[in-house]
Amino acid sequence: MTSFSSCKKQERHKPIETKQEKIATDLKLDHFNIWTNYPQKAKQKLIELGFTAIPDSLSRIHHGQGTTGRYFYFLNTYLEFIYVYDKEEFTLNNKKNTALDFKERVNFENNGASPFSIALKVKDYKVDKIPFEKIEYHQEWMAENMSIYAAKNSKLNLKEPSVFVVYPEIETDEFETYDDLVKIPEEYKIWRTFFKHPNGAKKVTKITITSSGLNDNTATIKTLNTLQNISVKSGEKHLMEVYFDNKAQGKKFDLRPEIPLIIYL
């Protein structure tokens, strides 16, 4: 479950003439992923820190792709621990989509690839507003005639986080406060409970990604570094730092070495 909104109209393939700096302002974070080979352990780590997980029975399965995730929802985004659940389906999808980086990312422990993915959404969606080279990707878990667009560079430069753009119908809904969760339709009201975390976390206000051997001059990295709440930098090891509510509680949780993740509350 990613969007509770009614169907939205989608405009596609209309060219615009705009500088990258202007285009980037139309992009924002939709959600973020961490590849893992131990999803239940990763999920349990966050539960122990006071986060509420989406029940496994309600977690999205990416049919045709061979992956699924363990999910944590917040008022403005969500975290997905993505992993392979069907190896045969995963292998077949990779054979059909050789320009995508799934098989390299899942093998991050051996090949040094970044295990992180950033999903973006576009204001007033138009495919031509995506300011980097892209690959159209459709799979059966997506709506008919709809595609996500993966950065071409994500396959070519594995040291940087994988980047892709979602289409409007699967954009993550955002809520300003807990009171706004009433906007979730009654038929899905059980989902309102998953946004409330015993540790008090509400919104992700910043994500910093460190990548070893990063080339920060690629179009994808330049794009990410223009966004308000995302920064990508070069460092010794791959690491994601996630800040909640501008560190209002003054707490820090370092989940390394099990997960390359530091959480600030």
Whole-number Å distance between alpha carbons of 197 and 123: 29
As a whole number, the mean pLDDT across the chain is 92
Tell which wins on pLDDT, 70 or 8. Answer: 70
- pTM for this predicted structure: 0.91
Strand-pairing partners, residue 212, are: 235
Band of pLDDT at residue 2, cut at 50, 70 and 90: low
**Contact residues for 147 (Cβ-Cβ < 8 A; gap 6+):** 136, 137, 138, 167
Please write the tens of the pLDDT for every residue from 220-246.
999 999 998 999 999 999 999 999 999
Token pair 């370092």 is found at 254
What is the structure's pLDDT at 208? 98
Q: Does 54 score more than 80 pLDDT?
A: yes
Domain map (residue ranges) of the chain: 20-174
CATH of the domain spanning 20-174: 3.10.180.10
Please write the tens of the pLDDT for every residue from 9-32.
333 333 333 444 544 569 999 999
Please write the tens of the pLDDT for every residue from 84-103.
999 999 999 999 999 999 99
Q: Does 45 score more than 50 pLDDT?
A: yes
Please write the tens of the pLDDT for every residue from 171-187.
999 999 999 999 999 99
Instruction: Locate 255 and state its tokens.
Output: 């989940």
What is the structure's pLDDT at 15? 37
